[in-house]
Amino acid sequence: MTAFIMPVCAKQPGMLESLRHLLLFVAFLVFASLPARADDASITHARIVLSEEGYVLNADFSFDLNQKLIDALAHGVALHFVAELRIERPRWYWFDKLIVHRRLEYRLAYHAMTRSYRLNIGSLHRNFDSLADALHTMERIRNLHVAPSDGFDAKDKYEATLRFFHDTTLLPKPFQLSALANSRWGLDTGWTKWTFTSEMPAITTQPEEAVEEEETTTIVEEPAVEKAMPGATITE
């Protein structure tokens, strides 16, 4: 028995070394494919309110582009961002039922000839003289339609999750490979989750006392829809 096992064991170190390298490579790919979350990217405010057109989402994000993304813009690389909303109705007897899934897509590009930034939000577009102004518009969502006025049942509770991120899968192919190994291409707020009913569908990440103040002002004033900044208003 010993004479039979020894030759096999002699070959195992090389096989084990190859297997170890393979596992390390697979682990690297899995880790690199995870969305990189920027420490300064967050959702500071989110509300689902009932308007004349139905239920709409109002949200505010806070983020900054790092130098890697700014340099890419300056060299003509368009950046794509996504605000993704999911609303589900929990079910104790089965998987939660997906009620709403909305993706609002952004495309930000720099035009060297005009020295301006062009921002596409869904089917709308607008030009900006500065990157700061374009980013300020991206940080605000107003009146994004998510459901008709009868879309939610008053007796049910719903779970909403919201996320804003840089979609690196839409980068040019060479940059996609770079993004896999370099987390500086990533920007992700992570998911913000809250529970609401159709009678009180609002949430905010601000302190509770701030929420009470906005309850008396936001719902009344928001139909005006920020007319001073048409680029910041998103409607269907």
Query: Does the pLDDT of residue 127 top 90, yes or no?
Result: yes
pLDDT averaged over the chain? 78
Q: Which two tokens stand for residue 172?
A: 């040019």
Say which DSSP state 34 is in. S
pLDDT digits (tens, 9 = 90+) for 17-63: 666 555 544 444 444 444 444 447 999 999 999 999 999 999 999 99
% of the chain beyond a pLDDT of 90: 56
Query: In this structure, how many other beta carbons lie within 10 angstroms of the beta carbon of residue 226?
Result: 14
pLDDT digits (tens, 9 = 90+) for 170-214: 999 888 888 887 888 999 999 999 998 886 554 444 433 433 333
Minimal CA–CA distance to 234: which of 220, 217, 222?
222
Nearest-angstrom CA–CA distance, 65 and 41: 9
Contact 181, 32 (CB under 8 A): yes
